Structure 1
Amino acid sequence: MIETRLATLSDAEAIAALLMANAGDRGGMLLGQWPREVIERRIAGGQSIIIATSDEGGLLGALLTSEKGFDAAAPVQAMLKAWPGGPDAYVYGPVCVSADARGLGVLEALYARLQATFPGREAILFIREDNPRSLKAHLRLGMREVARYDFDGKVFIVLSDRPDAG
């Protein structure tokens, strides 16, 4: 069974390990570097991270969020320029599911907890165009493409979960 909850500082090491294992420099699709200190700073700064765990407590996945003014990373700022979202929109991502838990409903469980945590608020995110697996998974959640932008020689697709977006 998949359990979801908000992460605490004691989860930072496991979250960082999952994200770092799937970073672009290790063959994954995640942008950026995610050491434990970055995860701790996000949690301490009030930025919600939803995690999914197994019955045994192992980390199955993590979904990071941030308020629009929190993350100054260039890809995030480029996304917000392409699609700023509504006044109460927040940045969704990155999201990462452990390789051995993919296809088991972890993303759906994370997203359901996210919607319960931020009811009625618009989530906005970007996915690289060359990541069709993630794009397909998010479209299945009901998200819609609302914009595209080029960043660092790559095309990014902006998605929103606002019902009237796009």
Structure 2
Amino acid sequence: MVNSDRSVIRLATLHDLAGITALLQANSAGRGGTLNGDFPADKVEGMLRRAGVRTVVAQRDEAITGVLFSAIPTQHEPEMINAMLHAWPPGWHCWLYGPVCISEAERGKGLLKRLYHHMCQYHQGAPVLFIQAQNSRSIQAHQRLGMYPVAKFAMQDEDFFVYSHQG
């Protein structure tokens, strides 16, 4: 557990479900946010319970202010993840990074970096994630983590970049 700037960074538990769901829903595409997809409670619970998933949260006082999901890829990934993995040159030798979400009040304060460094403790190899090509804020945030585009793919008439530390 890491505690800095009053935020506690730790592994998530099912007790965090309501806070994680509220954060993701507030920033989902259906509500004008930049997260790809929507995140009802049953979907978030499934993500938390999925084998091979690690989830790190930032908590300030009682509120979940940040969340980062990760997983080891399997052969049964959603279509978007499979498209990303097929575009990424090394393929399946990686760990899946995301989704990640930081509350609006905490953005720009280094919370993403703390979540990411905490998550790296649990994985070997390269993180791999996709970002919508028009999402300049996310692109800049991940470039500050030392990530860079290693591939590109299109799905449903949208372009996405694949970001990682290697490629």
Q: TM-score, normalised by structure 1?
A: 0.90
Q: Percent identity?
A: 37
In structure 1, what is the equivalent of residue 140 of structure 2? 136
Residues 59-68 or 84-93, more deviating: 84-93
In structure 1, what is the equivalent of residue 25 of structure 2? 20
Is 2:163 aligned against 1:159? yes
The one-letter code sitting in structure 2 at the alignment partner of 1:93 is G
Change (3 A) 1:70 1:15: farther
Q: TM-score, normalised by structure 2?
A: 0.89
| Match among 137, 147, 152 for residue 148 of structure 1 | 152
Distance in 2 of aligned mates of 1:149 and 1:30: 17
- What is the total number of aligned residue pairs between the two structures? 161
Residues 34-43 or 93-102, more deviating: 34-43
Structure 1 runs of 4+ aligned residues shifted over 6 Å read none
SS across alignment from 2:65: strand
The one-letter code sitting in structure 1 at the alignment partner of 2:70 is T
| Match among 47, 50, 58 for residue 56 of structure 2 | 50
In structure 1, what is the equivalent of residue 10 of structure 2? 5
Please list every run of 5 or more consecutive structure 1 residues that lacks an aligned counterpart in the other structure.
Answer: none
Is 2:92 aligned against 1:82? no
In structure 2, what is the equivalent of residue 91 of structure 1? 96
Please list every run of 5 or more consecutive structure 2 residues that lacks an aligned counterpart in the other structure.
Answer: none
In structure 2, what is the equivalent of residue 105 of structure 1? 110
SS across alignment from 1:69: coil
Q: Following TM superposition, by how much is the alpha carbon of 1:110 offset from its aligned partner in structure 2, in angstroms?
A: 0.5
SS across alignment from 1:123: strand
Give the strand-richer structure, 1 or 2.
2
Is 2:70 aligned against 1:62? no
Is 2:26 aligned against 1:30? no
Q: Following TM superposition, by how much is the alpha carbon of 1:115 offset from its aligned partner in structure 2, in angstroms?
A: 1.1
Q: Following TM superposition, by how much is the alpha carbon of 1:38 offset from its aligned partner in structure 2, in angstroms?
A: 1.8
